[in-house]
């Protein structure tokens, strides 16, 4: 009798043993308390060439540049274990994008993070939202009162984008009550000033900023 082939498009091995939360079924990251405020962060695309491993690896780049990490996660374990830790993949959530795709991207953010945790890698959750409609699921799967990370790069160009980012930041702080928030990119006063007494922010320059600083040196 011929065996039926099962196409595991969601790579269920990533979430073996994970608690699943919310109506969309988002994996819950473990509350391990084994992370720290990064000395620095480095983009995944530069991890192989990096000699200083006392950094956290991040995925604040175009989705296509880290898509293989979502589908062939295991082959990157040895590389990422060399670093202090990892910030979970920044899978895009865009205004106007279908709800099911935004939920899927939230799923993979947590699923890959959980798999890294199970394999001994310290993990800081990256939080990404689109508009208010995403608030019902975009914070799922993240332990309260932990270190989290966000990116403003490319997300706060217009006044409307600033308003939306601020609204998401406010909701994130309310729901997750993070102890610290890493910020990849600029921190304009109009977005962040209101929350300075609620949480500790730690800003890291984007790769775009760092590249242009070198060019202008």
For the question of whether the overall pTM of this predicted structure is more than 0.75, the answer is yes
Q: Partners of 149 in the beta sheet?
A: 126, 182
Ordered per-residue pLDDT tens for the chain, 217 residues: 444 444 566 689 999 999 999 999 999 999 999 999 999 999 999 999 999 999 999 999 999 999 999 999 999 999 999 999 999 999 999 999 999 999 999 999 999 999 999 999 999 999 999 999 999 999 999 999 999 999 999 899 999 999 999 999 999 999 999 999 999 999 999 999 999 999 999 999 998 888 877 655 5
DSSP letter string over 72-118? Answer: SGGGGHHHHTTSSEEEPP-----TTS-HHHHHHHHHHHHHHHHHHHH
Tokens of 125: 């959750």
Task: Give Rg (Cα) of the chain.
Answer: 17
Q: Partners of 210 in the beta sheet?
A: none
Q: Which residues of 144-176 are buried (b: 16+ CB within 10 A; e: fewer)?
A: eebbbbbbbbebbeeeeebebbbebbebbbeeb
């Amino acid at each position: 009798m011929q065996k039926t082939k099962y196409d595991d498009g969601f790579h269920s091995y990533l979430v073996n043993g994970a608690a699943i939360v919310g109506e969309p079924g988002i994996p819950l990251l473990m509350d391990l308390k084994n992370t720290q405020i990064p000395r620095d962060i480095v983009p995944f695309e530069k991890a192989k060439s990096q000699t200083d491993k006392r950094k956290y690896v991040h995925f604040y780049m175009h989705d296509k540049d880290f898509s293989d990490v979502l589908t062939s996660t295991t082959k990157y374990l040895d590389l990422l274990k060399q670093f202090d830790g990892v910030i979970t993949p920044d899978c895009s959530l865009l205004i106007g994008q279908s709800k099911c795709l935004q939920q899927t991207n939230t799923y993979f953010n947590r699923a890959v993070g959980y798999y890294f945790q199970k394999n001994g890698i310290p993990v800081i959750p990256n939080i990404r939202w689109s508009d208010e409609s995403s608030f019902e699921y975009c914070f799922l799967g993240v332990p309260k009162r932990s270190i989290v990370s966000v990116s403003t790069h490319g997300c706060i160009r217009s006044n409307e984008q600033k308003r939306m980012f601020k609204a998401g930041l406010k909701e994130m702080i309310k729901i997750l009550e993070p102890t610290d928030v890493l910020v990849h990119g600029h921190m304009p006063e109009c977005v962040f000033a209101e929350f300075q007494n609620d949480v500790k922010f730690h800003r890291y320059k984007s790769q775009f900023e760092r590249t242009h600083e070198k060019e202008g040196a």
